[in-house]
Structure 1
Amino acid sequence: MTIIGLVGSVFSPFYAAARKRGPADPLAHCSMNVALYGPARDAWSFTERGGTDVRRYGTALVIGTSSMEWQDDTLVVRFEEETAPLPGRVSGTVRIHPLAIVHESFVLDTHGRHRWAPIAPIARAEVDIRRPEGTRWTGMAYVDSNFGSEPLEDGFTGWNWSRATTRRRTVVTYDSVRRDGTRDLIQHSFGADGRSEPLEPLALARAPRTLWGMERPVRVDPGTSPRVVRTLEDTPFYARSQLSGRYLGEHAHGVHEALSLDRFRTRVVQFMLPYRMRRVSP
């Protein structure tokens, strides 16, 4: 499962349209994106809200009927959302227990307008899903944050990101292409004690393209190849995949994301986006 709290929803066509008219308030375009992937069925929710439906506190973010809140050392996520494009409900609670907190962030662009913070690269999750089907499980989790002062498509043409967890460490790669044509590659490993260190360059391998033709460059140990376990999201501008490969000499499972912001900003993609998300006015 993937849960993303967005303040100023970067992939919102409504937010993009508002910015074209002039300065736009990011708090008027917030979403709690919840994606569940099961063996028999998936569930996807992406509802945009604003105004009185959004509340921010020192340790919590509330968007409509969903919230993220730090309770001591635990991040508690509660969600109650409607699915799209087919109507339905997703609801549940996830308690994320970080093994350690990372207190650093990485600049992604030339001007320092975009940053990435790996908050809890190794964590344990307790998941309680009530809808669409009641189920509970525990497993590994990962928490990070991206934030910036300009639209993503103004700063980048796209990027590829991946993270994989070995027995002792989480390996994260962030390969971004800036709008000015320069590239930046972050390759870091994070331990359960919170310490991080840059890695020797991993080898560039290419997983098969998605059905929408999205490329999936993946960084793995030299002389090895990744394997796509499952394509979780396949859209014209974005792909999320479950991968396996070798990292630091170990076999590991992970997640890969490919994003094309050149595709995202096209008129046809902007026209298609409202079919995967909803807009609710307070």
Structure 2
Amino acid sequence: MSDDGRHALTLIALLGSVFSPYYAAARSRGLGMGEPLDHCAMNVALYGPRASHWALTERRRTAVTRSPSALQIGPSAMRWESDDLLVSFDETTSPFPSLLPTRLRGQVRLIPHSAPPAPVRLDAAGRHLWTPIAPIARAEVTLSHPELRFSGSAYLDANAGDEPLEDAFTGWSWARATTGEGHRHPHASAAHDEVAVSYQVERRDGSRLRIARTFDRRGDERELGAHALRPFGRTGWGLSRSIAVDPGTSPHLVRTLEDTPFYARSLASATLGGRQATVVHEQLSLERFQCSWVRFLIPFRMRRAT
């Protein structure tokens, strides 16, 4: 998220694109779990004050190169340079909603400002792990298509699983909240001293996992103080959204960044620890994702490289 709040960028490297209808079809044809490396993608989403851009091209294993410090998926790559993560991408936007695909090309340098906490088991069997690698970070973004530069608060995490998400969960909501200090210090050396992350997981067996923690630059974490889950409106597709906030306060929707039948990404404002915070939030319904009509629509938001 840029310091002035006007732009945001999300990058997701997918080794086994969990929401791919082609990956799901491979499993349903009796091919076991399918081959994850035949369904890889570098998802790039750019949000601006006037327009947004979305790119997701699924590629086969021949387009993937991996090492302990680098990952290449087609024309896009992530690699560690000392303690920084450098991401370069050159992708084509998906055909929907625009009928004229455009290029998304640029580079991001992510500079961690916190030590990585230990992985968290999301399910009782330990088949799904979440690792908040850098809860506090800065990002320097340089794009050539479209031409744009900005820097701001950033975050890096990883999810890993040994089975499809819908086998273990019915849905989840995730949120990362930062207070306003970063907006008052636009230089790259400035970063938030503490962030709050909440993860509300609904398991397939009916149990729940509730995570609400603050992280600081040293990598220390503690449970978030008294808080309550409060809704902040449904999406256009009817997904409900809620955020952990101070008791007696209510969150407010600032902008819906992504609105799909089974997934939403949003920007909200909320009060945490007595301070006003900017919240990046995601809501996922895996019950919706399993619907045949939803899987019919997904290819309109992605490409499949041949």
TM-score (norm 2): 0.90
**Residue 70 (structure 2) aligns with:** 60
**Residue 116 (structure 2) aligns with:** 102
Structure-1 separation of matches of 2:227 and 2:161: 27
Q: What 5-or-longer segments of structure 1 have no aligned partner?
A: none
**Residue 157 (structure 1) aligns with:** 170
**Aligned partner of residue 269 in structure 1, secondary structure:** helix
**Residue 138 (structure 2) aligns with:** 124
The answer to whether the 8 A contact 2:39-2:59 is kept is: yes
Structure-1 separation of matches of 2:203 and 2:92: 35
Structure-2 separation of matches of 1:96 and 1:248: 27
Aligned length in residues: 280
**Overall identity of the aligned pairs, in %:** 52
**Residue 28 (structure 2) aligns with:** 20
Structure-2 separation of matches of 1:76 and 1:254: 24
| Matching of residues 79-228 of structure 1 within 5 Å | 79-85=89-95, 86=98, 87-131=101-145, 133-166=146-179, 167=181, 168-228=193-253
Output the aligned Cα RMSD. 1.0
Structure-1 separation of matches of 2:291 and 2:226: 34
Structure-2 separation of matches of 1:101 and 1:65: 30
Q: Where has structure 1 moved over 4 Å in runs of 4 or more?
A: none
Q: Deviations over 1:174-215 (max 9, x none)?
A: 001100111110111100222111223421100110111000
| Matching of residues 222-237 of structure 1 within 5 Å | 222-237=247-262
Instruction: Choose the corresponding residue for 1:10, options 8, 18, 23.
Output: 18
**Residue 6 (structure 2) aligns with:** none
**Residue 268 (structure 1) aligns with:** 293
Counterpart amino acid of residue 297 in structure 2 = M
Structure-1 separation of matches of 2:69 and 2:274: 38
**Aligned partner of residue 261 in structure 2, secondary structure:** coil
Q: Deviations over 1:29-64 (max 9, x none)?
A: 001000000111110000000121011111111100
**Residue 280 (structure 1) aligns with:** 305
Structure-1 separation of matches of 2:292 and 2:160: 25
The answer to whether the 8 A contact 1:95-1:127 is kept is: yes
**Aligned partner of residue 41 in structure 2, secondary structure:** strand
**Aligned partner of residue 198 in structure 2, secondary structure:** strand
**Aligned partner of residue 27 in structure 1, secondary structure:** helix
Correspondence 1:239 to 2:264: yes
Structure-2 separation of matches of 1:108 and 1:141: 23
Greater shift, 190-199 or 203-212, is seen at 190-199
**Aligned partner of residue 140 in structure 1, secondary structure:** strand
The answer to whether the 8 A contact 1:102-1:195 is kept is: no
Correspondence 1:72 to 2:82: yes
Greater shift, 194-203 or 84-93, is seen at 194-203
The answer to whether the 8 A contact 2:117-2:220 is kept is: no
TM-score (norm 1): 0.97
The answer to whether the 8 A contact 1:187-1:201 is kept is: no
Counterpart amino acid of residue 11 in structure 1 = F
Structure-2 separation of matches of 1:183 and 1:82: 38
